[in-house]
Structure 1
Amino acid sequence: MTQNLPVPVASTGPSTTAGFKMRIDSTSGVHIDEHDYVKHSKSAQGYLLRRLDLPDIVQEFTFEELELLRLEDRLSVTANYHSSTAASGRLNAQGTYFSDLPDARQTKWADRLEIVEDFIKAEAAGRYSRSDNSLRKFVKEWFATKVELAMGRFGKTLDIDSPPGPTTIRTWLNRFEACGHDPASLIDGYGRSGNRDARLQPGAAALMAVWVEKYKSNLKPSMCSLYRDMRADFREKLPGTSVPARNTFERAIKKLDPFHVLAAREGEEVARRKLYAVRDRVDVTRPLQRVEMDEQMIPLQAMLVERGKWDTLPEKLKSGITHDRYWCSKIIDTWSRVVLGFVITPAPSAASALATVRMALQDKTPLAAGLGCESPWHMFGLPELIVTDSGSNFRSKQFRAAILDLGIGIMIAPAGLPQMRGVVERSFRTDTQYFYSRFPGRTFQDVVEKGEYDSESNIVVTIMELAHMMVRYFVDIYHNTPHAGLGGDTPLNRWNTGVERFGVLPPPPPDVMRHIFSTTIQCRIGNRGVRAAGLYYQSKELQNLRRSLGSKFALVRVDTEDLGHVSVRAGKGWLTVPCTTPGFDGISLDHWRETQAELRRSHASVAALSEAIVHKALMDLAQRIETLTDMSKVPSPIMKSEAFVEFDRELSRGFGIVRPEDGEVPQIDDVDTSPVALKDDEVEDIGSYTFPASEDDDDTFTE
């Protein structure tokens, strides 16, 4: 398994947006229908917006009207669009990084950045190249210049006695350029070495966990007395097993949730009062002002050990579980602590990170309802800042370009400083304590009983059942549990009150989502338009483009979560082209594939099915798609070009849709419109979405 296993988000049905209140700032760009607006003022009921083309005209919009316009795809809001420092400017303003670092690391980082920037300028002027001899010459002259200017402010690694060598400088340059000239890429990446696997034997860890929990008691036992009693328990129950060290035991107690410890030992009212003062330690003032992302390996082996299942497994299956590890990628709102989304993946990657971000942009209430949750999962919107660690997936060009295109700032926290993303780090510890440690053993029954037979599929099914239960845990338990970091308030209540008071930025419109979270292919344009996923997309503008391109390939972007439209590259921008078959707005590729399979089973011939039959089948399967549990073949939200081409061949084989007014199979295209895959290096050069096209724009995409 190399693909992601995203939690299935419902692809059909009206979006539940109860309690959603968007925020519009003075620098926000607002586009409604054919007009551009800026904020004039805000009232208790909504906003007054001023027309840019007619400044004397001010129109009123209630919050409900704005949300309806957004759902009808008639409104888009671009944060900071009219500010002097747009999204890219904010991205490059890295003062926060420096101020959060110790002085010594600030100096080292600043000097390293100065070397890299000075070399890039000198290289552009033709004074140096990246050969060893040229880099040595650059370092010698650079240090000589600094000595002459009596700067005298170098850190140890840039000491004159030990200047960086050519290989080191090339490494800095490669990292700096690969991360889009992000200064955070030059922070030391230390702090990740060493073996951090648990060293306690499984039985010892389980018994120690029992005694750690005993600290949460109104009898108020001390750590010392508990440790003494635990040692006696070890001698009785696990003779010959090494007892965990006292420091290990006390560290485990200190990792317990402070609110639950105080509530158990002192009472809930005391806990609320004592923890109220620390509820806002992170300097944020509203929902989605700052979100944090990270990954955690799912402790599947530990869960099996704790339930007594591990020893019953065949060695081959044990090897598969320890070798094929799964990770949970999660995004959490710092202000309210609500979970905005998570994705299960065999290995962290840029694709899994982007899939996680996409969940944060979507209302997930239909998903929660489909899985039996009683609370809504209506936490969504456009984050203002995403904080990640310095992993390669977050520093990749694919991830950074997508975040920039969304208009979100990004902070890559330095390695070795987890406190800079402490909210998500602590949330993973909470998951381990209150979810993984209590995961029902029956879930692993199939893994144990089936043994070596199809072990990979068994593990995948187990992981996906775990993912579904994680939704229930986050939505119904975690979001409704008093949180120490919120002064005893619950994440759900904190989110609701914050949105009511401040509002949140709305997610981008579908066209922007398609540009950012798309699969790019290339097609020739035929008389029926372009083909993708066995469907045809056609418009007058597309046929005009066909006249200029002839038989050349056109670049096509497909959102596999919404097949209603595609984007086709056209000289100065991209055309939005609708599907010729109605009813595909909001339909995912997986939904369409399942529908086709159902139609092939129920109809002797699928070469000429009517649109009405196809539409009814799509609707009939809508509810079933929400709760699919066999996710082993579901593609990543951003599918590889080659994989999409294979899907298109599968979906197009012998399948045709006719319109009710003609009742005939459409004529055969005069050219082959089959999609062709692009290589990764070809995809990188096609540009990225910035803002809607206008007649005066040289180009609507950054090349």
Structure 2
Amino acid sequence: MKKAIARIAGRITEVQALRESADGRCGTKVTIWRPPSPRTLRRWLAAYDAFGVEGLVDWYENSGNRKDRLDPEARSILAEFAAKYVDRRRPTKNQIHLDMSAEFLRVNVERKAGGLPSLLCPSKAALADEIAELDPWETYVGRHGLDKAKKKYFPRKGGQTFYRPLEMVAMDEHRIKLVTVLIRMGVYESLSPDMRKKVKKARLWVSFALDLATRYCLAAKIVAAPSGASAMATLREVIAGDDDIADADGDGRVERGSPEAVATDNGAGFIEEIFRIALAELEIEHVLGPAGVPQMRGALEAFHRFFHSSFAARFDGRTHGNVVARGDYDAMAHAVLDPTMLNELLQDWRVNFYNRRPHAGLGGESPLGAWRRLAADVDVLPPPHPTVMRHVLGRPSGATVGNNGVRVEGLDYNSLALQKARPDIGNAPVPIRIEDRDRGQVSVRVPAGWLTVPCVRKEMAGVSSAQHAAGLDVLAARNAVDASRNEKTMLEAVRRIQSASDEASKRVGLSPPRPDAAALACIWDWQERAFAVAERDADDQPFLDLDDDPTEAPVDCPNAPEMPSDRDGTGRDGAAGFFLEE
């Protein structure tokens, strides 16, 4: 049999060498297997005769000594210390092995005193094998807590599938792990190092909206803190959109519309009444997810991770999430961005990078391409009328109604309908909604509903809040220079006039003028008459009775002040002029 085995082994070696070197270069190593002994060959033949080919199956894994080599007492100590790995303090395996070695040393001292042999302390590998035999769920719960274990072992079923753009929009507000300086970059660069330390710095939030059917990022806004107003601003961007602001090549815009449903968590801004009422008025379903289960918002959580890795990580000033991960890195000292610049870069990232990049969840298709493909088959719901958008989603404000209407951020807004509603409003402030893209009109809530009230300055039509603020800054700077130049001259003129008045009074022996009781009575009578004229019902009779002369003073009050007169005949003087003009 030895001669036969040698001949067969030679043939096997030749075939194996030809097989392994067929596609290889000169010098390629060839594996040669050691041939079996005659005894092994006889065993193989017997197995083949008895069971056929199945008798030649290798059972090598069952070979060797399977008897436990540890003493039962040593095995008990090993199991005891392996169980200590399940601890909320998260001890390391090396630490547990060190404690176990100390225990074996103590036990061996006692056994030696009793005349018993010493126990062999298991190795670190034996301890690791024993720990690996523990229940993984129980181990993770013991070391990390139940809440974290629920997140790790949360079952995944693929989630709900959406087929239309704006069928379901997920919104969330996430804190940015980036420290930003709350001043403009040009000002910050001019400050000294000592002054820079005193600059107020803050961590901001980013408010996102993601279309779940296409993964298209509909909105991304930098906000100071989560609130109902920030949630409404994000919803407005979802419906109206401003992709043209950062669109690099003019090909990144998509047709916007009204979402069918909006999914949010229980964040502070999403549970406020103002946001939930806005969704109800726009007939948008509000889907609130369960608290503490971020796995049910997997698409949005994955978006957050990608945002931080591809955008926030590019800038200096990161906080890295926590103190342990940050180490010795001083994020506050490395803050380089202000919120305005950060928001501009965020829009560029959203429109020109994220929405155009191949998305793994879409099979390599970009979110922009997925939106256009699905929108070609199913039209999105059109957005509400711009007036309704302003009524519902405009920036909230408030003011009282007066003769000039309402004053909102330095501008007066007035209309006949607003003045007619004054008796029902009284002196209470009225809710106001501002459209920052067009300050030519605002929405005012009166008891009968929302009113569109135009600005008295017609040139404000189409002017945005940013343009208005920029104009005010230029005007304030110019007026400040003019006031500084004329202040000294004005004060000197006032001092000369007052001094001359005091000297004239002393020469004639007059005391400071004070009104007597009769004069005060005449003034009150004049005011009552003025209010009576202004408050007449415009539907019953004209505000001003043309047969009466409003400038005529009472007969018994020769010193009464004059009523305001219509000097130019246009009806612009007095409270009633507005209604006559209308």
Q: TM-score normalized by structure 1?
A: 0.39
- Higher relative contact order at CA 8 Å, sep ≥6: structure 1 or structure 2? 1
Q: TM-score normalized by structure 2?
A: 0.47
User: Which has the greater radius of gyration?
Assistant: 2
